[in-house]
Structure 1
């Protein structure tokens, strides 16, 4: 007699299964965020210190040159960006952790496209980063930023686009990383200079030509500036002070519209996501 071999059924791949995979990965990212209280606190400490301690200290140095404006108000959009970027990077790095402990392999052999896993991871990282950024957003009134519903919604939308792009950037690098130390070493080397050159902590006006050039080729500049433009649009600031603190980003004397800056960040994010999907399709 010949023993019969039991058949194993595998669910066919399809759009519905991919959408479900995106939802599951996103939900998992949210659960990890909610259950990791130390991570939530540690990601908030640095921007709060920069905003209330460094911002107050720097404010005493420039108080006479920016009458009627708290320097912490100027730094507020930059600190939102810092919070979102750091949180998004940690979310992207968690996929390296999943690889080390074998969970990533289990996801990759599931009957769903690898693109769905990467998209779910990217959306989850963006959602987690926005949730963290909302906590900083709640501090707006303490630094002279009004709690205007249109302003809050605008900042929330810009936060999500920035978080999506940074998460995609992190996933692109994480696709080939084998340990957390290498990933965060590389990310710190890349992100910290970009953060300092984004105008998060100093105005972009009257910069030396070499520094102005570096800020214009820095993608993070185009995540900070739209938030600052939105904040200053809701403040009663003297024109001369606005010109110093909120000059916008210029290319050869032409100031970029906010809509173009946001579109550029979104397109960069989509390009990074496409690259990350391609990398994960090559992963064994």
Structure 2
């Protein structure tokens, strides 16, 4: 760690071992933040942390003890980016894999609640805390085969809006960023590592990339103290809704 690191405001990014989380960590470091990266894949975290002069700490947002241990090592926080989460499967509601649904609620919804609750006192103590939640257009749209993820992201959006109301008058701003199609490991995880199925999601169109969302996070995190960006919806030009996508040919 460089000698100037103590002067930098601290940003925590969950799910920072790849995709949007890793891109966000890099971008916030470029904006002058000391970034604390949290995720389960510590080897990947450590490589990114070395690159950006940050700190890598193990974090499983579905586990109370892991979140508590993580928070105990982060005495100061100005920005929290709740990015960890994901989707599993494309089962229909009537054929729901309840174990998969439980994981999606634990990771997407309760993960946001756990980490935010663990760090809220430090965010407030910073005098200008910011909570940024990476949601999804699945938080306000629906499509067949996405019931578990859609339900979880609708809940994430509801929690975020409620948090904003509950923190009104306190020095913490709350933002939800709702991306459309972003080409990361998201689809590979959703399809259990099936590369062909993941590639088909983006066939014939140009999706967003992780850096596109990181740009938005950086914009939100660097607004003046009196400005709050409540919600941002970001889609690729080729996407008009969760079900309407222009594909060449």
Higher helix fraction (1 or 2): 1
Higher strand fraction (1 or 2): 2
- Which TM class, normalised by the smaller chain length? 0.3 to 0.5
Larger of the two Rg values belongs to structure = 1
TM-score normalised by length of structure 2 = 0.34
TM-score normalised by length of structure 1 = 0.31
